[in-house]
């Protein structure tokens, strides 16, 4: 099946979960990443069970702190 990850189309295996995609994409500090699928945020507790579908658009978001 085909999904879009951070604007790039990719062929991935059927039944791919968000958690497995995070591993495959070598996401740095996965414990701090926020994931949206089709512009809807996915709860981190659902990463293991949320199965991606053909045509999904996935974004990895990092919230940075700091400054004054």
Let me know if residue 36 belongs to a domain.
yes
d(CA 68, CA 56): 37
Kind of pairing, strands 8-11 and 57-61? unpaired
Element (H, E) at 10: strand 8-11
Is residue 68 predicted with pLDDT exceeding 90?
Answer: no
Stretch (H or E) spanning 19:
helix 18-24
pTM exceeds 0.75 for this model: yes
Domain that holds residue 53: 2-61
For the cut 80, the answer to whether the pLDDT of residue 25 exceeds it is: yes
Which CATH number belongs to the domain containing residue 30 in this structure?
3.10.20.30
Residue 53 lies in a domain: yes
In a domain, 67, yes or no: no
Average pLDDT, stretch 37-64? 95
């Amino acid at each position: 099946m085909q999904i879009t990850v951070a604007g790039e189309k990719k062929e991935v295996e059927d039944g791919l979960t968000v958690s497995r995609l995070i591993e495959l994409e070598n996401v740095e500090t996965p414990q701090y990443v926020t994931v949206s699928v089709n512009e809807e945020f996915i709860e981190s507790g659902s990463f293991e069970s949320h199965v991606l579908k053909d045509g999904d658009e996935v974004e990895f978001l990092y919230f940075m702190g700091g400054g004054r």
